Amino acid sequence: MSDTTDTGEDLQQLAATLDGVVLGVPGVVGLIAAQPTVLRAAKETVGVLLGTPVQSARVSVRRPRGSVVVEANIAVDSDQAAPAVAQAVHRAIVDALPRPDAEDAEGRAITVRVVDVVPSAAH
Amino acid sequence: MNDDDRSSEQLAAGGCAHGIDALSDYLDRDMLPADPTIDESPECQRVLRSLRRVRALATPLIEADEAAVTTLDQGWIRGIMENIEREAKAGRDIPFAMADEAATLVITEGTVRGLIRGAGDRTPGILVGRCILDGDVSVVGEPVTLHVRVSIGWGRPVTEAIAQFRDEVATGLRQHTDLVIAALDIIVDDLHFEVAETEGSREASDHE
């Protein structure tokens, strides 16, 4: 792996960048946190109460044992085709990730999950 | 189901931690104050969309004739609500057929059931009661049989309505999934009364 110095902050920053990348893909109308909704909302509420707002990224990025694991849960516009949108999101994530070296190339796992198809009139 | 009854299963990513009664109250309050645990949960959103549709069917009837309330089978409506709540859950991951092995691209079973329910919403006179995906949906290309139970509006030509519903389901699943549908079994197991539903009122409920 070319970069072995990633910190939690680096991953958070990368996840925040990927949030923007995923939301910028045509057909994506929502991005749902990989973290449980209730847990996330509770953390954010506590953060606001403590005066230290937490706005964690919705795309999940982890680095177990050197590999990169990315998970994005998306809502898709019903006028689009969900498989094509999921593929476009995957491509966008691949393009946005730091270039891997040869031994790192197989250490990536990207999951794009369509968790809702939203009628066009509803968004 | 009460909120207190929720298990950790409901707290999964995008899961809905609210019961049908709480979501119904939220609709009554015009979704104010905003609750991110509802607004950001796709499962809650699917339940809310279905609730709006059921209400759009029931409310004009009640307003047209208060006595009609007694003709509504409250138990049956409750049953529909419970199915909506149960089927909104994410369920199994259904993979898309694709060549790139480095990626996992999937759609959730709950989303697919939502597509089928949405097809019912677009078909005049059809209200989806329950739908089951029968087969190993986690394997690309594996034949899957859909079992859907519907109620149909009193006086609607059944054959026409079912044919239209079948087309809507097929179109939606072709557009959004790579499922191989071996059969689509539709059972009309109930009738419901309708006040003349105009395109306008249907669009209004869609936009709510």
Q: What is the mean pLDDT of residues B179-205?
A: 75
Question: What pLDDT, on a 0 to 100 scale, did the predictor assign at position A80?
Answer: 96
Q: Are A71 and A34 in contact (CB under 8 A)?
A: yes
For chain A, say whether B93 makes contact (Cβ under 8 Å): yes
Q: Which of A35, A109, A116 sits opposite B46 (nearest CB)?
A: A116
- Split at pLDDT 50, 70, 90, the class of B72 is low
Polymer length of chain B = 208
Chain B contacts of A106, Cβ < 8 Å?
A: 102
The string of pLDDT tens digits covering residues A45-72 is 666 666 665 557 889 998 887 788 999 9
Architecture in CATH of B3-206: 2-Layer Sandwich (3.30)
Q: What percent of chain B has pLDDT over 70?
A: 77
B152-167 b/e (C-beta count within 10 Å ≥ 16 → b) = bbeebeeeebbebbee
Question: What pLDDT, on a 0 to 100 scale, did the predictor assign at position B8?
Answer: 45
The string of pLDDT tens digits covering residues B100-112 is 777 899 999 999 9
**What is the rounded distance in angstroms from the CA atom of residue A80 to the CA atom of residue A117?**
9
**How far is residue B48 from each of residues A9, A32, A39, measured CA to CA in Å?**
37, 17, 21
A112 and B106 within 8 Å at the Cβ level: the answer is: yes
Question: What pLDDT, on a 0 to 100 scale, did the predictor assign at position B21?
Answer: 85
Q: What is the mean pLDDT of residues A10-38?
A: 88
Give the A:B interface size as CB pairs under 8 Å: 120
**How many angstroms separate the first and last alpha carbons of chain A?**
41
Q: What percent of chain A has pLDDT over 90?
A: 45
For chain A, say whether B178 makes contact (Cβ under 8 Å): yes
Which residue has better confidence, B56 or A53? B56
Compute the mean pLDDT over every residue in chain A, rounded to the nearest whole number. 81
Chain B contacts of A118, Cβ < 8 Å?
A: 45
Question: What pLDDT, on a 0 to 100 scale, did the predictor assign at position A20?
Answer: 95
Question: What pLDDT, on a 0 to 100 scale, did the predictor assign at position B3?
Answer: 43
In B54-158, the DSSP E strands lie at 93-95, 103-108, 126-134, 143-153
**What is the rounded distance in angstroms from the CA atom of residue B79 to the CA atom of residue B73?**
10
- Split at pLDDT 50, 70, 90, the class of B192 is confident
- Is B203's pLDDT higher than 70? no
- Split at pLDDT 50, 70, 90, the class of B176 is very high
Question: What pLDDT, on a 0 to 100 scale, did the predictor assign at position B1?
Answer: 41
B105 to chain A: closest CA residue? A112
